[in-house]
Amino acid sequence: MLAVDKLPSSTLLPGYDRSRLKTRMLHIGFGAFHRAHQAVCSDKLASEHHSDWGYCEVNLNSGELIAALREQSLLYSVTELADDSRHTRVVGVITAALHGKGDGIETVIEAMCQPDIAIVSMTVTEKGYCYQPATGQLNLQHPDIQHDLAHPQQPVSLPGVILAAIARRHERGLPPFSVMSCDNMPENGHVTRNVILQLAQAQDAQLATYIADALTFPSTMVDRIVPAMTDEALTSLSETLGSYDPVAVSCEPFFQWVIEDNFVNGRPAWEKAGAELVSDVLPFEEMKLRMLNGSHSFLAYLGYLAGYEHISDCMADGDFRLAARKLMLDEQAPTLRTPNVDLVAYADSLLARYENRAIKHRTGQIATDGTQKLPQRWLDSIRWHITQGSAYPLLALGVAAWIRYVGAVDEQGNAIEVRDAMKSELAERVAASAEGEARVAALLGIESVFGEDLPHNADFVAQVNDCYQQLLRQGARATVAQAVANG
């Protein structure tokens, strides 16, 4: 467990009276990203500006991190890593921690019903919203949603748990809270509002009207590269810190948080700790999703197939580096409407961040849940190009690489562990289709990912098929090199 007294003298410790903190925020999804991003921003605000906004942290499923956090007095460490430096701080802004299965969903709902709670936020990845990525609408056929419709007082889904708390607060005459998504989805506030409202409409029309009138769902854009914490990474950190912290997280120094300033019951002054409060987040979301996340996914699938374990390994390959830059500037930047942003400088800054070898960001980690990520990272841009009549060869190559990856066998004939919310359907479609055009058609036929339009666009299908055949014939490295040469 974390021993604060054994940490290096350079470690930044909470410089505030933690007993003054009030539990005003409840966050669902105590994963690595939240620990390194929103919690750090709130901790800086408490340290530097005497904020009393504290977090109740919730994991709905896994309880190991919550148990470990409790054992070390709700403290954990965050280490920023660059090639030539590292800086560690201990985050102390957490006031409570709950596990949905261990403590019970009833305990979680009651925590959300405490009068001081003004914000419920979440980082649960795209699949946690039980929505259809192609449309942004609630998937009413999702097993968890079906359960919650039948048992609204014992919910298991994220929308169901939040909805149960909203209903209970309303019944008790308590003020509404704002619901703030911090996940990588375009207009994530709108998606969150959609799934909760649509679930409410299926349960109680009057409750749905109340939510539409009284609650706010601010959108956000979050940016910081935070690798998943492996046993190797934890061991390395413990050697540096002189103390083993099972809740520790490492990340890059860069931090960005753009927030729609639309809160119904107050908020922390996050702008004093580096966040940007704006009236419209969407242009920033699209820029980050398409240029950063889109190029990350491109490198992840092709890099994994090429045998590159980390994004920094991809950057050491000149063809991969140039392909990522061309993808960002030639195929993603034209689709954006971000005001007063130098997109060339932004692309080059992203490449510089990718080169950070101290950050072991695994291609296999980024490759997870592609069915949830492709629509906003690539497919919206492809639709833009189709409408404009412009070229998108690298985006088509990315789609082909994803199809090759979810085939679950790499270029050496080794099995790939495909981790995806739709893993079973992917496996069924792969098993039922012959290698080649039939495989491409089978996977492009997933309507919840590709919609009704793209599988019937002959040019799109032909480009993906050509790229897929190249990957089969000559492998990822040669295909990327050829794509760069052709550009």
**Is 3.40.50.720 the CATH number for 4-278?**
yes
How confident is the model at residue 1, as a pLDDT?
A: 85
Angle between helices 205-214 and 158-172 (to 10 degrees): 80
Cβ neighbours of 266 (radius 10 Å): 12
| Integer Cα distance of 264 and 218 in angstroms | 10
The 8-class DSSP code of residue 378 comes to I
Strands lying side by side in the sheet with 94-99: 94-99, 53-59, 22-28, 119-122, 178-181
Residue type, 480: V
Q: Do domains 4-278 and 283-486 have the same CATH topology?
A: no
How confident is the model at residue 254, as a pLDDT?
A: 96
Residue type, 40: V
CB burial of residue 257 (10 Å; 0-12, 13-18, 19+):
buried
Residue type, 461: V
Report mean pLDDT in 10-residue bins for the chain, 487 residues.
89 96 98 98 98 98 95 97 91 98 96 98 96 90 96 96 98 98 94 97 96 98 94 90 94 97 98 96 94 98 97 97 98 91 96 94 96 96 98 98 97 94 96 97 97 97 98 98 92
Q: Would you state the CATH architecture of domain 283-486? A: Orthogonal Bundle (1.10)
How confident is the model at residue 4, as a pLDDT?
A: 87
| Integer Cα distance of 486 and 481 in angstroms | 9
The region, left, alpha or beta by phi > 0 then psi within -120 to 50, assigned to residue 391 is beta
Q: CA nearest 89: which of 222, 245, 213, 323?
A: 245
How confident is the model at residue 50, as a pLDDT?
A: 96
How confident is the model at residue 335, as a pLDDT?
A: 97
How confident is the model at residue 3, as a pLDDT?
A: 87
Listed by start position, the domains of the chain span 4-278, 283-486
